[in-house]
Structure formats: C-alpha cells, structure tokens
Amino acid sequence: MAGVTIRDVAKEAGVSIATVSYVLNNSRNVSEDTRRRVLETAKRLGYRANIIARNLQASETRLFGYSWRPSPPDRFNPILDRFLQAMAEAAAFHGYHVLTFPFPTIEDELATYAEMMLTGQVDGFVLSNTNLNDQRVRCLSDNGFPFVAFGRSNADWDFPWVDVDGRTGVRMATQHLIAQGHRRIACLAWPETSLSGQYRLSGYLEAMEAANLPVDPAWIERTENIHNDAYAASWRLLNQPADRRPSAIVALTDLMALGAINAAWDAGLKPGRDLAVTGFDDAPIARFLRPPLTSLRQPIAEVGERLITILVDIVQGKPLSEPHVLLQPELVVRASSVVSYEE
C-alpha cells in the first residue's frame, strides 16, 4: 500500500539500501555528500520507513496493550478519557502506541492476555483494576512478560505498579468532615473482596480512630459501585435512630456519593447542610451537582505517564528507579461537605 521502499530510494540515489538505512538512522558515518543526496531523494520520493518491517527486524511491536472492563449503562468511568490520553501521549513520546483490546467474556480475560503475549502482538501490558490474587499479574510474572499495573495486588508479589493512595485520600476526607464538626460519620464502602476498597475504608477507620471517634458497625455499608445500591444503603443509614444517625457520609466513589445525596433529598434532608457527603474521583460532573460534590481527585495524568515510563524502562531492559509509585489524591472541597460554602 505504502509503495515507496528503501530499495526505491537506494536505486534512485545510486547507493545500496544499507547506506540509505545508515543515513536515515544516523547509525554510521556517511559522507556529507551521500547523506545529502540520500536525504533529498528520500524526501522527494516521499519515503517513510515501513513500521512492520522495522518491527519484525527488531522483533518488537512498539505497542502496549491495555484492556478495561466496560461500564454498564448505569455506571460511568470518570477517568478513562484522561487516563487513555495520558498513556497514549507518554507512549508516543517514547515511540510507542497503545493498543486497546476487549475480551468477549470475563472468563476469556486471561486467555486473551495470554494470546496477545504469545503471538507477540504487544511488547507489554498496562493492567488496571487489579485485585488480590489477580491472575493476570501471576500469569505475566510467570512468563517474564513486561507489564505494569495501575493498582496493587498481593503484598508478597513483586511487580511494578503505580497506585493512588486511597487510604490517605479517604483519611483526608474523613478528617475534613471531622474538622467540620461531624462526629457520627458513615462510610459507603465496597465489598470486602475489593483491595482498593479495603485501602480506602482503612483510611476512614484510621481517621476516626485518630480522632477518638467510635465507629458504629452499622455505619459501614458495603455495596457495589452502583448508584441505586448506594442510595438504598444511605437510606438505611438515615433511618437509624437520631442518636445513631450519621451526619456525614464518606462515599468511595462519586457515583455512590450521588446515591447518598439523592437519598438525603428524598429523606427531606438538605445535603451539604443536614448531611455532609464526600466522594472519590472528582468526576467532571461532581462540580455541577447539587450541592457541588466534595471529592478526591486522582492525578490520573501522572498515573498514566508514570505507568508508561516504567513500562518503557522494563521493555528496554533499563533498571527501574522506582518500581512502586504511590501518588497522592487531592481533596477538592465543595458545598456537599461544608455548610457555609461559597462557590
């Protein structure tokens, strides 16, 4: 399809293809005269090196694979856009590209990774949404195939990762609520199977303990990241007797925070005044909700960039200066958690 090859340039410039290659890659001394002639010819013919051929020769693809679970219609992925952009940009900077791939069903996930690894379709993977005993981590580690994860897994598995410190983040949010005078603070948490859910929850527990505030077990509601489940859980929280009813809710995602806010409205409470709520992710929509949602902003662009930098180092066999990166989220305070809030 492309048409003009290195052979054409060589013939036209009256040199061997090796010389053309040397000129174009600056990989060997070539006389100024020849160099100019080759460059001129290449430009005139509109020559561009064929990537596949180069890849075959170098036996690499300069491609990184990335896959993620699709969101159901009632859920959204607040970071996907910026995350992909950040990765793609960082990859391009190093001469790589990001290949997105799906897996038909969740059972095929591992097989899909294995297939792409074995056929040499990519040089490495970026994993996200890792969890405990993540099979992808195990499989890729076993095969010595390059990868890096957004998120941690088993503590005794040694692999490179970048993560956002959800524990510190949620602790900050909880401390913020405590500083606002709240004493009975509930948490909309995730099922115990979720590792990052555990990290985030522990941040809440730490803050409560550090402030010597008792935690009523009923204040910890575990649901999936689903609005309606969070709504129902919040409803239960708000229906407790007055002396045990929380005045603030720390939600582990913005979507769950929205469930809490909506439950408050429906309970005749004014969120932000009668019930403080905080979220996680700082989705673009958070600032436009009513009330605007206090949330923890993840440094997604940096996560993406760090992931790619690490992966490039791995692929190129460089030693990793920092195989584990824990980035801090930023607490963005808005009216959902502060009574007298001025935009």
Query: In the complex, which residues of this chain contact DNA (CB under 7 A)?
Result: 2, 5-7, 14-19, 21-22, 24-25, 27-31, 33-35, 47-50, 53-54, 56-59
Q: C-beta of 82: minimal distance to a second copy in Å?
A: 7
Is residue 55 near a second copy by the rule CB under 8 A?
yes
Would you give the binding string for a second copy spanning residues 215-244, x where CB under 8 A is met? ------------x-----------------
Which of DNA, a second copy, none does residue 5 bind (CB under 5 to 8 Å by kind)?
Answer: DNA
Which of a second copy, DNA, none does residue 16 bind (CB under 5 to 8 Å by kind)?
Answer: DNA
Residue 205, CB-side half-sphere exposure with 13 Å CA sphere = 10
Q: Find the binder of a second copy among 213, 229, 287, 299 (CB under 8 A).
A: 287
Look up residue 306 and give its two tokens: 């760090």
Question: Three-state DSSP class for 176?
Answer: helix
Q: Of 55 and 154, which CB lies nearer to a second copy in the complex structure?
A: 55
Rounded-to-integer distance, Cα 166 and Cα 291, Å: 23
Q: Find the binder of a second copy among 21, 50, 180, 247 (CB under 8 A).
A: 50
Q: Of 95 and 217, which CB lies nearer to a second copy in the complex structure?
A: 95
Rounded-to-integer distance, Cα 112 and Cα 116, Å: 6
φ, ψ for residue 279 (rounded to 5)? Answer: -120, -160
Q: How many residues does the chain have?
A: 343
| Matching residue, tokens 């054409």 | 8
Would you give the binding string for a second copy spanning residues 121-140, x where CB under 8 A is met? x-------------------
Footprint on residues 95-114 left by a second copy (CB under 8 A): 97-102, 104
Give the distance, in angstroms, between the CA of residue 206 and the centroid of all CA atoms in the same chain: 25
| Matching residue, tokens 């980035």 | 327
Burial class (CB in 10 A: 0-12, 13-18, 19+), 340: exposed
Q: Of 17 and 211, which CB lies nearer to DNA in the complex structure?
A: 17
Asked if residue 291 has a cis previous peptide bond (ω within 30° of 0), the answer is yes
Burial class (CB in 10 A: 0-12, 13-18, 19+), 286: buried
Look up residue 22 and give its two tokens: 């040397």
DSSP string, 24-71: HHT-S---HHHHHHHHHHHHHHT----HHHHHHHHT---EEEE--PPP
Which of a second copy, DNA, none does residue 11 bind (CB under 5 to 8 Å by kind)?
Answer: none
Q: Of 28 and 69, which CB lies nearer to DNA in the complex structure?
A: 28
Which of a second copy, DNA, none does residue 28 bind (CB under 5 to 8 Å by kind)?
Answer: DNA
Is residue 76 near a second copy by the rule CB under 8 A?
yes
Q: Which residues contact 135 (CB under 8 A, 6 or more apart)?
A: 109, 110
Q: Of 69 and 318, which CB lies nearer to DNA in the complex structure?
A: 318
The binding site for a second copy (CB under 8 A) comprises 1-2, 46, 48-53, 55-56, 59-61, 63, 70-71, 73-78, 80-82, 84-85, 88-89, 92, 97-102, 104, 115, 118-121, 145, 227, 255, 258-259, 262, 265, 283-285, 287-288, 290
